A and B are shown apart, each in its own frame.
Chain A
Amino acid sequence: MSKGLIIGLVIAALVVFWGIGVRNGMATGNQEVAASWANVETAYQRRADLIPNLVKTVQGVANFEKGTLTDVINARASATQIKLDATDLSPENIQKYQAAQSQLSGSLSRLMAVAESYPQLKATENFSELQSQLEGTENRIKEERDRFNTTVKGFNNKIVTFPNSLVASFSGFTVKGYFQADAGASKAPAVDFGGAK
């Protein structure tokens, strides 16, 4: 074997080892993103689980405005339909998911605003606790979304920079989506109970 061949083989081996290392790093990052995505979904699920209870409580009040209530029920139905697999967190999918969820946020905050004008509802302990639970879930959603974004940022940075981007394209890792700040909801927890916060 010639000296040149040996040097060439050594360099090739080094490159392969480097590639494997980088790929493993990306795979780990991918798992981290998947884990924090699971937390995001849990937080949203928690909110969806609260709604039947909320609806029941509100329905118990005589002549409660029906429109806002059906809005919430419909928005919940369409929001829970969209389930994203952790392997498919492309920017478009995240955007779709977020759109469905923020529609639910919007109809929920309208419902809570309407509920403010029913003193017999506001006075019940049950409703006040539901309010706080709802507020808590909104805070948890915000928290998990922030963490998800941070994890995704780390992952994306890893795969878009050169020369890692070469390894990423070989092994099929693509950029993942972020949650955007909700339009018109810069004061993040969208449900505001006037002083309850």
Chain B
Amino acid sequence: MSRKLIIYFFFTVYCFLFTAILNAQDIPAKPNPPRLVNDFVMKLSPTELSSLEQKLKVYADTTSTQIAIVIVKTTGDSGPYDYAIKIAKDWGVGQKDKNNGLVLLWATETRKLRIVTGRGMEATITDAVSKRIINTILKPYFQGGQFYQGLDVATTEIMKRASGEFGADAQSDDDGSIIPFLVIIIIVIVFLVIAAKRGGGRNGGAGGFMGGWLGPIIFSSGGSSGWGGGSSGGGFGGFGGGDFGGGGAGGDY
């Protein structure tokens, strides 16, 4: 019980510190551990938060498209666009080679909404579509105080539109890397054969050699598909470094 209290205390202090840093200007730091739904104002209940997070995480796992929701009090001196695109770029939402990230920013105090789309998303989530999502989905729900429902319906709409544009990350990785992987294995085998022939009976040496070679290969192959695999365990695996070119739209409610 007392331990729970202590944790709660530190969490509150942490939140206060966080808002203090936030007010000092600039954008919030990249969440660690990574999260797709970042509610810095506590507008959503824990259940709403985790169900949104789960929904976006599953979508990111299956399509590699990362939709991040950021809820802040205000965007400070900068406009919602500048604020949102800075978050998008600094956090690197979306995959590096696909630029398939999207940030939905909500400033609660100034009642602003902003969608910024990654370069790879611009074809499906055009500026006009972003505007329509804000005007016809988010705005009516938010005006009625149904924030979670608004975000839920809006993200569903985004997912529906973006689906089919990108495949899961692991798939495309496999297609490209199987041949070099085979080449490396063949080279290793050739090396081992040569080493075994030269060394004659020195089996121990060959074994060490093998360990030294195969170790990093296995490790690195695990690493390349790491964010897809790691995320199945629970949390979201992390942002991929996607780029943003200024697409999207904004509005207020």
Per-residue interface assignment for chain B, residues 218 to 253, with 1 indicating a CB less than 8 Å from any chain A CB and 0 otherwise: 000000000000000000000000001111111110
Given known A128-B135, A197-B81, contact A136–B252 (CB-CB < 8 A): no
Whether B246 contacts A140 by the Cβ 8 Å rule is yes
* A133 contacts across to B, CB distance below 8 A: 126-128
Given known A189-B81, A197-B79, contact A140–B131 (CB-CB < 8 A): no
**Complex CA–CA separation, A93 to B164 (angstroms):** 43
Q: Does B80 touch A at the CB level, under 8 Å?
A: yes
Given known A196-B251, A197-B80, contact A129–B131 (CB-CB < 8 A): yes
* A131 contacts across to B, CB distance below 8 A: 131
Per-residue interface assignment for chain A, residues 172 to 193, with 1 indicating a CB less than 8 Å from any chain B CB and 0 otherwise: 0000000000000001010000
* A137 contacts across to B, CB distance below 8 A: 127
- In chain B, positions 109-139 with a C-beta closer than 8 Å to chain A are 126-128, 130-132, 135
Whether B130 contacts A132 by the Cβ 8 Å rule is yes
Total A residues in contact with B, Cβ cutoff 8 Å: 20
Per-residue interface assignment for chain B, residues 70 to 83, with 1 indicating a CB less than 8 Å from any chain A CB and 0 otherwise: 00000000011100
- In chain B, positions 177-199 with a C-beta closer than 8 Å to chain A are none
Whether A142 contacts B246 by the Cβ 8 Å rule is yes
Given known A142-B246, A196-B250, A197-B250, contact A136–B127 (CB-CB < 8 A): yes
Q: Does A195 touch B at the CB level, under 8 Å?
A: yes
Q: Does A101 touch B at the CB level, under 8 Å?
A: no
Q: Does A65 touch B at the CB level, under 8 Å?
A: no
Given known A136-B127, A144-B245, contact A129–B250 (CB-CB < 8 A): no
**Complex CA–CA separation, A12 to B197 (angstroms):** 49
CB-based nearest B residue for A140: B246
CB-based nearest A residue for B116: A139
Q: Does A143 touch B at the CB level, under 8 Å?
A: yes
* B131 contacts across to A, CB distance below 8 A: 128-129, 131-132
Whether A132 contacts B127 by the Cβ 8 Å rule is yes
* B244 contacts across to A, CB distance below 8 A: 143
**Complex CA–CA separation, A135 to B245 (angstroms):** 13
CB distance from B78 to the nearest CB of A (A): 10
Whether B249 contacts A135 by the Cβ 8 Å rule is yes
Whether B81 contacts A129 by the Cβ 8 Å rule is no
* A144 contacts across to B, CB distance below 8 A: 245-246
**Complex CA–CA separation, A189 to B85 (angstroms):** 14
**Complex CA–CA separation, A135 to B131 (angstroms):** 11
CB-based nearest A residue for B79: A197
* B126 contacts across to A, CB distance below 8 A: 133
CB-based nearest B residue for A189: B81
**Complex CA–CA separation, A188 to B220 (angstroms):** 44
* A143 contacts across to B, CB distance below 8 A: 85, 244-246
**Complex CA–CA separation, A132 to B128 (angstroms):** 6
Of B80, B247, B249, B252, which contacts A140 at CB under 8 A?
A: B247
- What are 18 of the A-B contact pairs (CB < 8 Å)? A128-B131, A128-B135, A129-B127, A129-B131, A129-B132, A131-B131, A132-B127, A135-B249, A136-B127, A136-B246, A139-B247, A140-B247, A143-B85, A143-B244, A143-B246, A189-B81, A197-B81, A197-B250
User: Which residues on A are within 8 Å of B, measured CB to CB?
Assistant: 125, 128-129, 131-133, 135-137, 139-144, 187, 189, 195-197
Among all A-B residue pairs, the 7 with the closest Cβ atoms:
A136-B127, A139-B246, A132-B131, A140-B246, A129-B128, A132-B249, A143-B246
Q: A131-B131, A136-B247 are in contact. List 4 more A-B contacts (CB 8 A).
A: A132-B130, A136-B246, A137-B127, A143-B245
